[in-house]
Amino acid sequence: MQGKIAGDHGERDSAARYEAFMARQSPEDDALLKLENYNAEIRPLVAQDRGMLHELTVAVFWPHRGRDLDLFLSLGEGYIALDEIGRPLGSAMYYPMGDDFAMFGMMVTTPRLQTQGVGRRLLRRIMNDCRGRDLRLSATKSGFRLYRDAGFETVATIWQHQGIAKLARLPEPVAGVDVRPLEAADHGAVSALDTQAYGADRQVVKAALLRKSGGVVAVRGGVVCGFALVRPFGKGMVIGPVVAEDDQMAMQLCAPLIQQYEGQFVRLDTPQQSEHFKAFLSAAGLGVFDTCTEMRIGPLRRAETGACLYGLAAHSFG
């Protein structure tokens, strides 16, 4: 009972912060933004803005390449802030997943302007666009306070593992489970598992990822019960999404992909707090590089039992 009371209090506190944040909007939110001694405008993002998005990501040392930004731009909507001579100052995007959920991503503000209100204006724009939806995002350390003020609640730490793959020892196989390469006939089962683990139907995102990814599936009794995808991203390859029933299955799924790209740069972002799984990744050359904080508005939708999310598709997609 005490836990329920505490949870109810936390939800009311989150709702109050959300309402206070959104109530601070004014007609000025849609007008020019005064930064230092010049004006800036906010307008919708279009595909042709890829070069300016790349400038922003370079400024905050994100590893995104043109192909990665093309994917993000093709699957979401959002805004970009520009100064009077067209230089990018910040961006924010959202990715609708079904009718009642959205993931926020590509939220970047050039470092020297992070206290000037750019991020706050951009966040409020996409929150207005997504009214009535449950929301989720991956918060960097610099953005955490802003999202907390806007009503977002902490879910978990996201661990960014990366490095030069060097799988020295294969994990113990899971009894009764075989791992084999992903086939086109598996896409329906993979999609269903992803929806269960993720907590929303990201059909459009899944279809795009499957077109660009290879991967493996775990099979028990002829039924697909887990999967891991891999695709080019940033400086090398990213493994994700990964959906598995437990640490052993997750390791058995990831091992052949790490082995396939041994000697190359590989990354995997996991929301799982399991020291066993993280130790496996570190031993395979993918040490912890950084962390961010997963945050939400609305219920905790991601599965906590059964098939669970062990690897993100991307911070912008979850």
Structure tokens at 6: 């505490």
Residue count (the chain): 318
pTM score, whole prediction: 0.88
Is residue 149 within 8 A of residue 21, CB to CB? The reply is yes
Residues of the chain above pLDDT 70, percent: 93
Distance CA 113, CA 132 (A): 30
Mean pLDDT of the chain: 92
Please give the sequence-ordered ranges of beta strands (E in DSSP) within the chain, or none if there are none: 33-35, 38-44, 77-83, 88-96, 101-109, 134-139, 153-164, 178-181, 214-220, 223-233, 236-244, 265-270, 287-297, 308-311
Residue 225 is which amino acid?
C
- Cβ neighbors of 234 (< 8 A, separation 6 or more) are 63, 64, 65, 68, 265, 267
According to DSSP, residue 28 is labeled: G
pLDDT tens digit string along 241-299? 999 999 999 999 999 999 999 999 999 999 999 999 999 999 999 999 999 999 999 99
CATH code: domain 159-290+297-311 is 3.40.630.90
Domain spans, the chain: 2-157, 159-290+297-311
pLDDT tens digit string along 123-144? 999 999 999 999 999 999 989 9
Distance CA 104, CA 9 (A): 25
Which has the closest alpha carbon to 239: 314, 177, 179, 316? Answer: 314
Place of tokens 């799982």: 272
- Domains 2-157 and 159-290+297-311 alike in fold: yes
CATH architecture of 2-157: 3-Layer(aba) Sandwich (3.40)
What mean pLDDT do residues 77-93 have?
Answer: 94
pLDDT tens digit string along 38-67? 688 999 999 999 999 999 999 999 999 999
Distance CA 247, CA 280 (A): 10
